Amino acid sequence: MRSALQLCPNDQAPFFDLCVGHAKALELLGFRVRTVFFEGRGPARPLPAVHYATPRQLPEFVGGERPALLLTHRHRAYRVGVRMSRRLRVPLHIAVAHEFGMFARRARRLRRRLAGRNHAVFAAASVPVAADLGESGIGSPVVLPNAIDTHALQESILERGPARASLGVPSQAFAIGVVGRLHPKKDPLRALRVFDTYRREDPDAWLAFVGDGPLRSRIEQAIGERVVVAGYRADARSLLSAFDLVLLCSTDREAFGFVLLEAMSAGVPVVVADRPGPRSVVGDCGTYFGTDDELLGVLRTFASRARTETIERARQRVAARFSVEALAECYREVLVGSRR
């Protein structure tokens, strides 16, 4: 069995789950995958093939074994991977970019050129990120989208009643969920600002933040009635059924939006700020807004719209493009291309 080594700087959400998705996809192709995070930032989630080691500890961890494939996520892991692939003479190094600007800095571009023309296959988590890599001088980057195990996710979803009880949301509420890091890139304060207007019109409306991050204290200071700040929840995906919609107010810095995959697969409608990254995930299976007034209008009319067809189309989109099986096919094409 061929071996693969996957490196990621930390296990902070969503990187633990997306690394699990990549590992499962490679396992479908016959690889034995070991995943190493340099740093643990999330709650411990022990899995047999998941390990923690600093870059300095990696040589001892790897020993003399030469993996057939080295997979690195984000720039820090890529830099470590360049050195490791040289030392071990790894046949194939795939470096995945998850954010815009991976090579925006001149020093990074210079180091990349010094590493040699064919030292790695560069991949992107989304089409917009691939375009960004191209603008940095990388020719023909491939797309390896984030993926989820759709079967495992759907089995983990709670019934609506228990999910709402866990969050403290009334059973009859019109519940809006903001799920993910409370970070400026996600702009959760915008969700709170618009909801502050909307809740004056709808006495049944509730807003729940599920996640943690640097903006949490500002949100907690600003919240009013019918707003819940649940903090980080390891079982966040199981609680998606609590919501009538999942709202993502991300800025242009958002390159993907992992929670959108989870919500779409769980059958929860998504309402999204119209940005290239999230649009590449959602396609025509969600509702977009530009201004705050447009978002307010979406919330006002949302409950009256029939969405069964859109929800089913969203599930099909995730299965076809963002499932573990779909990612495995993307890897298959990369592996075939690397042999040419």
How does DSSP assign 292-305, residue by residue?
Answer: HHHHHHHHHHHTTS
Q: Is residue 138 a contact partner of residue 181, using CB atoms and an 8 Å limit?
A: no
Q: Would you state the pLDDT for residue 339?
A: 63
Q: Is residue 51 a contact partner of residue 34, using CB atoms and an 8 Å limit?
A: yes
**What gap in Å lies between CA 92 and CA 58, rounded to an integer?**
18
Structural domain 150-321, CATH architecture: 3-Layer(aba) Sandwich (3.40)
Class of domain 2-147+323-338: alpha beta
The one-character DSSP state at 238 is G
Q: Would you state the pLDDT for residue 44?
A: 64
Hey, which residues does 270 pair with through a beta bridge? 246
Average pLDDT, the chain: 93
Where do the domains of the chain lie?
2-147+323-338, 150-321
Confidence of residue 337 (pLDDT cuts 50, 70, 90): confident
What are the E-state strand segments in 40-109? 50-52, 69-73, 92-97
Q: Average pLDDT of 46-64?
A: 87
Tens of pLDDT, residues 196-236: 999 999 999 999 999 999 999 999 998 888 999 999 998 99
What are the E-state strand segments in 232-277? 245-248, 270-273
Q: Average pLDDT of 139-152?
A: 94
The pLDDT of residue 306 is above 60: no
2-147+323-338 with 150-321: one CATH topology? yes
Say whether 235 sits in a helix, a strand or coil.
Answer: coil
The pLDDT of residue 304 is above 80: no
Q: At 35, which amino acid appears?
A: T
Confidence of residue 303 (pLDDT cuts 50, 70, 90): low
**What gap in Å lies between CA 115 and CA 145, rounded to an integer?**
25
Q: Would you state the pLDDT for residue 117?
A: 84
Predicted model pTM = 0.93
**What gap in Å lies between CA 213 and CA 242, rounded to an integer?**
22
**What gap in Å lies between CA 78 and CA 76, rounded to an integer?**
5
Beta strands across the sheet bearing 2-10 = 50-52, 31-39, 2-10, 69-73, 92-97, 121-124, 142-143
Q: Would you state the pLDDT for residue 46?
A: 65
| Assigned token pair, 196 | 């502050």
**What gap in Å lies between CA 242 and CA 230, rounded to an integer?**
13
- Find all residues with CB under 8 Å of 156, minimum gap 6, and list them: 235, 237, 238
Q: Would you state the pLDDT for residue 258?
A: 94
**What gap in Å lies between CA 167 and CA 187, rounded to an integer?**
21
The pLDDT of residue 57 is above 80: yes
Q: How far is CA 310 from CA 147, 263, 276, 286, 306, in A?
A: 20, 13, 20, 7, 9
Tens of pLDDT, residues 247-296: 999 999 999 999 999 999 999 999 999 999 999 999 999 999 999 999 99
Q: Average pLDDT of 125-137?
A: 96
Tens of pLDDT, residues 63-113: 878 999 999 999 999 999 999 999 999 999 999 999 999 999 999 999 999
**What gap in Å lies between CA 324 and CA 82, rounded to an integer?**
26
Residue of 171, 170, 201 lying closest to 300 (CA atoms): 201
Q: Would you state the pLDDT for residue 274?
A: 97
**What gap in Å lies between CA 216 and CA 229, rounded to an integer?**
8
Residue of 261, 280, 317, 320 lying closest to 128 (CA atoms): 280
The pLDDT of residue 338 is above 90: no
Name residue, tokens 């093939």. 49
